Chains A and B, each alone.
Chain A
Amino acid sequence: MQISGAQMVIEALIAEGVDTVFGYPGGAIMNVYDEIYKQDKFQHILTRHEQAAVHAAEGYSKASGKVGVSMITSGPGFTNAVTGLADAYMDSIPLVVISGQVPMSLIGTDAFQEIDAVGISRSCTKHNYLVTDAKDLPRVLKEAFYIARTGRPGPVHVDIPKDVTAQIAEFDYDVKLDLETYKPHVKGNPRQIKKAMEAIANAKRPLFYLGGGIINSNAANEVRDLVHTTGIPAVETFMARGTLSYDDKLLIGMLGMHGSYAANMAMSETDMVIALGARFDDRVTGKLSEFAKNAGVIHVDIDPASISKLVNANYPIVGDIKNVVVEMLKHVPMIKSDNYEPWRETIENFAQLHPLTFHEDSERLKPQWVIKRVGELLGDDANISTDVGQHQMWTSQFYPFTRPRQFISSGGLGTMGFGFPAAIGVKAASPEKTSINFTGDGSILMNCQELMTAVEKKLPVINIILNNNFLGMVRQWQTLFYDKRYSETDLSVQPDFVKLAEAFGGIGYRVSTKEEFDVALKEAIERNIVAFIDVKVERLENVMPMVPSGGSLFNMMLLEKKESK
């Protein structure tokens, strides 16, 4: 079939089963947009900023497990999208991002809206392409999707000059991929897996360290089996929330800088860490030399570069989590769950000593209460995204997650402005669930223009602004480590968030009591329109417990004890 480069893009997206594209047009990508206009196989969602187009594609991908797609123009369109690429790269989210480029004949001439896009995206994508001939497009696009979703997933960027989208060439998408140099290792070595299981059987205080790779691998069910049949307690990273249900007896909680006391103590006392798709991030380990100091380490990861990068692995296993865990399950009979009873009791004692909690001791609402309350009211029925800051950590700590892909947040890059567009993508991927975005009064302003997208496309995301009139997370560090010098973090001057939402055709609520909050949430759900719920919360609340940056996990700053009412 002889078609234009632009038509090839459309045909490839259809062949890949893409049903939603998030994007923003402009000169260099217009040929492709012309073909989008002519087709009806997938929907295009026009965001109001290219950064939001990529975050929305990330949210869509995380909620659905599919490759997210976004489309942008050259120059400023592309540079606006870079934060999204970097975010997806850090959190291993499979995306294909297609950008227009100035025509081949103008590349290198400082042409209008020309920027060396592949030069910029090289360090924040899994792979990228500059397509110089339309005949390469079918192969490149097919490779792009394949590379994005296989191995350690990640964003792939395809830059297409305008004349290439106009060029006519042969399109055959049945090309066989010939990627001799890219062969992800998905099957773990069975002998090594057996040895690892023997090591677990011989351990007294083993601990599962569950990471985001489990979600990527769609392996939560298998991991739940493994945890339950072995009776070994588990901690989750921020990226793994929902792998185990919040009420699972063997789930100790999140570990790390704002992890629970019990989770961090368990990690400090374990004699065998079983890391599944976790990358020993510095927010998790604290001081590396003190991290799980007396433990052996089993490390399962699909990316060999993750293994022994920071903590030496005694049992490195390269493979896809699902495959490896299925293989591990075969050896479960050699493990005696009863042997770990004293260990489970020790952990239970840690949890009793300093449970994860907060004090309702202020006139203003506590942000944690709001999150817990939404959990009580919506629980499993909501997908939860967040922005970045204190509200993000409280959401991870206090929302009762029950399933993988329920929690969508920017972990690795920590991108303020991620939450709202991501929630739009989540809603597009799973319209049957309520899409909640917990956000801050700082973060929400970084992509609030997306109100327009949500109104236009009828994607009724509910943004719950935990409004502390501060860049709270930075303010917390200033309180604790900078002698309360609140340099540029006071957000006393604010827009009227209710009017802001209304100006775009959304709905807004301002609440300061529990009763008002319940009413607002109920109404927002019923009215089914994008909403801002501006919740006035306690200004100076700190996220606790906390491991000060660079400190050891077992040296936590803890919530002050108070008699609970």
Chain B
Amino acid sequence: MNDNNERRVVSVIVVNEASVLSRITDLFSGRGYNITSLTVAPIPESKYSRLTIVTSGSIRVIEQITKQLHKLIPVLRVYEHSDLVEKEMALVKFPITENLSDISAICNAYNGKIVNVGNDVIITMVADEPKRVDHYLEAIRKYNPKEIVRSGAVALER
């Protein structure tokens, strides 16, 4: 039972058409499984899109979901990743009154930087492994972030 909540990353290559996203999310929701994050974008110069889904479940559950995903007519391929490079982006808005050089230095440590400076706020961007993004968000808490957006993970098999 204890591997029940293990985190899994699944990539799905699908035909880029109207109903495809709901077909996929229905498979999860119909079985009561939660999707932690989901990213979708078209694959350049093809009729396909790539979805990266982060979820959790036992090996058996994931194996069944993988097979069910594959059974959907518009699905071309499903990868259940084990050895992968995984990145996630986070945008954070800070009041301009915070210590900008500190923030900038922390961003640097997480592959990021300040990407926008306005009158009242600055926006930073980092891109790193999801776990490291967690750490980053922990580290910047004391600088009173006003808004945080995470992109969800994207992944490629090594």
Within the complex, what minimum Cβ distance (angstroms) separates B71 from chain A?
A: 5
Q: Kindly list 8 other residue pairs between chains A and B, CB separation below 8 angstroms, not including A305-B71, A309-B67.
A: A118-B19, A122-B23, A123-B26, A123-B30, A127-B73, A181-B14, A181-B15, A304-B71
B19, B26, B70: which has the most chain A beta carbons within 10 Å? B19
Within the complex, what minimum Cβ distance (angstroms) separates A268 from chain B?
A: 24
Cβ contact of A182, chosen from B22, B26, B64, B73, cutoff 8 A:
B73
A-B CB pair tally, cutoff 8 Å: 35
Interface string of A306-344 (1 = CB under 8 A from B): 001100000000000000000000000000000000000
**Top 9 A-B pairs, shortest CB-CB distance:** A305-B67, A181-B76, A127-B73, A182-B73, A305-B71, A304-B67, A305-B68, A181-B74, A123-B30
Question: Which residues of the other chain, A, contact B67 by a CB distance below 8 angstroms?
Answer: 304-305, 309
B-side binding surface: helix, strand, loop or mixed? helix
**Is B75 an interface residue when CB atoms closer than 8 A count as contact?**
yes
Do residues B71 and A303 form an inter-chain contact, with CB atoms below 8 A?
Answer: yes
Do residues A147 and B73 form an inter-chain contact, with CB atoms below 8 A?
Answer: yes
Give CA–CA (A309, B15) in the complex, Å: 26
Interface size for A (C-beta < 8 A) is: 18
Assuming the contacts A127-B73, A147-B73, A305-B71, asked whether A119 and B64 have C-beta atoms less than 8 A apart, the reply is no
Do residues A305 and B26 form an inter-chain contact, with CB atoms below 8 A?
Answer: no
Give CA–CA (A305, B68) in the complex, Å: 6
Question: Which residues of the other chain, A, contact B22 by a CB distance below 8 angstroms?
Answer: 119, 122
Question: Which residues of the other chain, A, contact B26 by a CB distance below 8 angstroms?
Answer: 122-123
Interface pairs (6), CB distance under 8 Å:
A118-B19, A126-B73, A127-B73, A147-B73, A304-B71, A305-B68
Within the complex, what minimum Cβ distance (angstroms) separates B15 from chain A?
A: 6
Question: Which residues of the other chain, B, contact A147 by a CB distance below 8 angstroms?
Answer: 73
Assuming the contacts A122-B23, A180-B76, A181-B15, asked whether A304 and B30 have C-beta atoms less than 8 A apart, the reply is no
**Is A382 an interface residue when CB atoms closer than 8 A count as contact?**
no
A123, A130, A305, A309: which has the most chain B beta carbons within 10 Å? A305
Give residues in B with beta carbon < 8 Å to A: 14-15, 18-19, 22-23, 26, 30, 63-64, 67-68, 70-71, 73-76
Do residues B73 and A179 form an inter-chain contact, with CB atoms below 8 A?
Answer: yes
Cβ contact of A304, chosen from B70, B73, B76, cutoff 8 A:
B70
Residue of B nearest to A182 (CB): B73
Give CA–CA (A63, B23) in the complex, Å: 31
Within the complex, what minimum Cβ distance (angstroms) separates A179 from chain B?
A: 7
CB contact list, A151-181 vs B, under 8 A: 179-181
Within the complex, what minimum Cβ distance (angstroms) separates A94 from chain B?
A: 14
Give CA–CA (A309, B67) in the complex, Å: 10
Cβ contact of A181, chosen from B18, B30, B64, B73, cutoff 8 A:
B73
Give CA–CA (A308, B75) in the complex, Å: 21
Give CA–CA (A303, B67) in the complex, Å: 9
Do residues A305 and B73 form an inter-chain contact, with CB atoms below 8 A?
Answer: no
Give residues in A with beta carbon < 8 Å to B: 118-119, 122-123, 126-128, 130, 147, 179-182, 303-305, 308-309
Assuming the contacts A118-B19, A123-B30, A130-B19, asked whether A309 and B73 have C-beta atoms less than 8 A apart, the reply is no
Give CA–CA (A119, B22) in the complex, Å: 9
Give CA–CA (A179, B19) in the complex, Å: 16
Give CA–CA (A285, B91) in the complex, Å: 52
Residue of A nearest to B74 (CB): A181
Within the complex, what minimum Cβ distance (angstroms) separates B1 from chain A?
A: 15
Give CA–CA (A123, B23) in the complex, Å: 8
Give CA–CA (A130, B17) in the complex, Å: 11
Give CA–CA (A468, B132) in the complex, Å: 68
Question: Which residues of the other chain, B, contact A180 by a CB distance below 8 angstroms?
Answer: 76
Within the complex, what minimum Cβ distance (angstroms) separates B143 from chain A?
A: 44
Within the complex, what minimum Cβ distance (angstroms) separates A118 from chain B?
A: 7
Residue of A nearest to B22 (CB): A122
Give CA–CA (A180, B73) in the complex, Å: 9
Question: Which residues of the other chain, A, contact B15 by a CB distance below 8 angstroms?
Answer: 181
Question: Which residues of the other chain, A, contact B23 by a CB distance below 8 angstroms?
Answer: 122
Question: Which residues of the other chain, B, contact A309 by a CB distance below 8 angstroms?
Answer: 64, 67
Question: Which residues of the other chain, B, contact A118 by a CB distance below 8 angstroms?
Answer: 19
Give CA–CA (A38, B103) in the complex, Å: 75
Question: Which residues of the other chain, B, contact A179 by a CB distance below 8 angstroms?
Answer: 73
Do residues A305 and B75 form an inter-chain contact, with CB atoms below 8 A?
Answer: no
Question: Which residues of the other chain, A, contact B30 by a CB distance below 8 angstroms?
Answer: 123
Question: Which residues of the other chain, A, contact B70 by a CB distance below 8 angstroms?
Answer: 304-305
Within the complex, what minimum Cβ distance (angstroms) separates B133 from chain A?
A: 33
Give CA–CA (A84, B43) in the complex, Å: 38
Residue of B nearest to A126 (CB): B73
Question: Which residues of the other chain, B, contact A308 by a CB distance below 8 angstroms?
Answer: 63
Residue of A nearest to B29 (CB): A123
Give CA–CA (A127, B19) in the complex, Å: 11
Question: Which residues of the other chain, A, contact B64 by a CB distance below 8 angstroms?
Answer: 305, 309
Residue of A nearest to B30 (CB): A123
Question: Which residues of the other chain, B, contact A182 by a CB distance below 8 angstroms?
Answer: 73
Residue of A nearest to B71 (CB): A305
Question: Which residues of the other chain, A, contact B68 by a CB distance below 8 angstroms?
Answer: 305
Give CA–CA (A308, B30) in the complex, Å: 20
Give CA–CA (A483, B14) in the complex, Å: 53
Give CA–CA (A128, B26) in the complex, Å: 14
Residue of A nearest to B63 (CB): A308
Question: Which residues of the other chain, B, contact A130 by a CB distance below 8 angstroms?
Answer: 18-19
Within the complex, what minimum Cβ distance (angstroms) separates B147 from chain A?
A: 31
Give CA–CA (A122, B14) in the complex, Å: 17
Give CA–CA (A317, B30) in the complex, Å: 28
Do residues B71 and A181 form an inter-chain contact, with CB atoms below 8 A?
Answer: no
Within the complex, what minimum Cβ distance (angstroms) separates A86 from chain B?
A: 13
Give CA–CA (A126, B68) in the complex, Å: 11
Give CA–CA (A308, B62) in the complex, Å: 13
Within the complex, what minimum Cβ distance (angstroms) separates A267 from chain B?
A: 23
Within the complex, what minimum Cβ distance (angstroms) separates B68 from chain A?
A: 6
B30, B63, B71, B74: which has the most chain A beta carbons within 10 Å? B71
Residue of B nearest to A152 (CB): B71
Give CA–CA (A172, B63) in the complex, Å: 41
Give CA–CA (A423, B100) in the complex, Å: 77
Residue of B nearest to A143 (CB): B73
